[in-house]
Amino acid sequence: MTKRSLDLSLDEAAIRAWACDVELALADQDEDLMLGARHEFYPLLATLAKDAACPRADECLAIMDFNLMFRVLRAFPDAEAQVEKTIGYLLDSDRSLVAAFIHVNRLRLDLLRGGSVASEARALELGTSALNGISRQAEISATDAGSDWVVELSVPPLHLHKEWLTIDKATGGYTFRR
């Protein structure tokens, strides 16, 4: 399959054309990063993600998921507002992957808002949502480290890429590192 690149500025028409043609590229590389960083296009991406007939519906959802994941992990000041707005764009969908996205992002909101994380199961649930979302399928484990939970993402098969989310048990405050 040979990809054709759109030679247009990034606008609603270009995104719609891209979403309907899997052989069309918006850019030479990293179109997912380019679209994910443009929150003004999230209402459109959400509309496309809700449409089961759209060839790139799942990709539209994954683009938003990946961007929101790192906004939460890096605790961007606008992360909570962006997650809430994005969930709002998707609430009227009956697609199961969209429901999974909403669930994951509600857990990300719980992580952002803090609060006691008393059990390993809760730390694992928050860590899985924060680190994997719907976009990744890495292995996740949680370890009791005294006053913290350390949630580790490890990518098979060689487990060379790892990420850690350390969650304070009492406050729910967290740090992320790679």
* Nearest to 98, CA basis, from 44, 57, 129: 57
Q: What is the pLDDT, as a whole number, of residue 24?
A: 85
State percent of the chain over pLDDT 90. 80
Kindly state the average pLDDT of the residues 111-132.
97
**Does the pLDDT value for residue 28 go beyond 70?**
no
CA-to-CA dists, residue 122 to 62, 82, 119, 151, angstroms:
24, 23, 5, 11
Q: When comparing pLDDT for 79 and 30, which is higher?
A: 79
- What is the pLDDT averaged over residues 145-163? 94
- Phi, psi angle pair for 162, to nearest 5°: -135, 150
Strands, sheet with 174-177, edge to edge from the N-terminal-most edge strand = 139-144, 148-154, 162-168, 174-177
Mean pLDDT over residues 29-50, rounded? 90
Tell me the mean pLDDT in the region 62-74: 96
Q: Over 70: is that where the pLDDT of 95 sits? A: yes
